[in-house]
């Protein structure tokens, strides 16, 4: 007689956005909770694969996948140390991210790009119909400026305004950073795909001001103990810029988006990045540029306030 088949272990919650809103730290904090299991790979991107493959980036992603296949398989078969970054496009590989679940009540993953990918909410609902969705929302101007600093460190090259206006004009702008800032449009897709009680939104300013309070709310949403001790002393993935902007612009011209440290082990790569980059310091968005972003996204901000029943009038100033 065949042994009974054990229940498949899959995520029952997903962190789905937005970029540059503290989700890397949130992923780390949740992983500390004894009743929560987080995928050791942040940004597996499985539920956004169809959108990416159908875009102009599809061939590049597939080529990257082939180059990394052996390394990903070794990782999935090995101890799965936290901090790895691989797109996980195959369902069997995705399921293996949760092989080490050992009785935790809440099982999750975090991929912020799900927020803007049109097909992601329905894809998540198809595979994980009961999943709870967590979204961290941030002012569009702040999100975009943080992303601008990543794309054009230290303000080198184009100004923020030129960068922003060029992106908004592109026909494929939905898949660019400016697409992340369409808060109501993107959030609406999740509210169409899932019952409202399965979707919970939090504001990044609240998270900065009272991270422990926001965590308690999230723990309640996930049905785990609210008083678990969490070390909040370390913030992860803070926006940074190169220490030597001219050298970085030269590197970008010569190498494009390719890394010069790809040969190095993950620990050494992280150390090299820390030496190469510094925190953003006093770099700030010009008030006139902030007003421009608000004008472009005013309708999105107003609609978001209605969707989440929060006063966002301060985001319009």
How much is the pTM?
0.82
Q: Low-confidence residues of the chain, pLDDT below 70?
A: 1-7, 152-157, 235-282
- Residue 7: what pLDDT? 66
Domain extent listing, the chain = 13-138+173-234
- Residue 5: what pLDDT? 43
Q: Which CATH architecture has domain 13-138+173-234?
A: 3-Layer(aba) Sandwich (3.40)
d(CA 119, CA 51) in angstroms, rounded, equals 6
**Cβ–Cβ under 8 Å, residues 298 and 316:** yes
- Between the CA atoms of 199, 200, 205 and 209, what dihedral angle is there, to the nearest 10 degrees? -160
- Residue 171: what pLDDT? 77
d(CA 57, CA 176) in angstroms, rounded, equals 11
pLDDT in tens, 213-234: 999 999 999 999 999 999 998 7
d(CA 187, CA 116) in angstroms, rounded, equals 8
d(CA 103, CA 172) in angstroms, rounded, equals 43
Would you list the DSSP string of 70-91?
HHHHHHHHTT--TT------SH
């Amino acid at each position: 007689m065949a042994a009974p088949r054990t229940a498949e272990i899959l995520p029952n919650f997903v962190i789905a956005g937005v970029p540059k809103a503290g989700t890397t730290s949130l992923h780390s904090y949740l992983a500390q909770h004894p009743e929560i299991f987080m995928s050791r790979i942040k940004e597996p991107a499985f539920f956004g694969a169809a959108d990416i493959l159908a875009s102009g980036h599809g061939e590049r992603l597939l080529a990257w996948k082939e180059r990394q296949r052996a390394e990903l398989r070794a990782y999935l078969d090995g101890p799965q140390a936290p901090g790895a970054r691989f797109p996980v496009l195959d369902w069997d590989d995705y399921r293996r991210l949760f092989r080490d679940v050992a009785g935790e009540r809440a099982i999750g993953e975090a991929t912020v790009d799900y927020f803007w990918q049109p097909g992601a909410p329905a894809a998540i609902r198809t595979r994980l119909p009961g999943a709870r969705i967590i979204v961290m929302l941030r002012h569009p101007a702040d999100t975009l400026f943080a992303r601008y600093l990543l794309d054009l460190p230290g303000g080198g090259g184009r100004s923020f305004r030129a960068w922003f206006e060029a992106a908004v004009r592109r026909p494929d702008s939905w898949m660019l950073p400016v697409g992340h800032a369409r808060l109501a449009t993107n959030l609406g897709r999740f509210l169409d795909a899932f019952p409202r009680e399965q979707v919970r939104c939090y504001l990044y300013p609240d998270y900065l001001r009272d991270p422990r309070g926001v965590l308690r709310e999230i723990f309640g949403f996930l049905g785990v103990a609210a008083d678990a001790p969490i070390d909040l002393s370390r913030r992860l993935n803070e926006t940074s810029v190169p220490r030597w902007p001219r050298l970085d612009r030269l590197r970008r011209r010569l190498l494009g988006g390719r890394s010069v440290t790809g040969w190095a082990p993950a620990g050494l790569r992280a150390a090299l990045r820390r030496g190469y980059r510094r925190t953003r310091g006093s770099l700030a968005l010009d008030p006139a540029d902030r007003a421009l972003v608000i004008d472009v996204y005013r309708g999105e901000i107003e609609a978001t306030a209605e969707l989440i029943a929060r006063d966002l009038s301060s985001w319009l100033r």
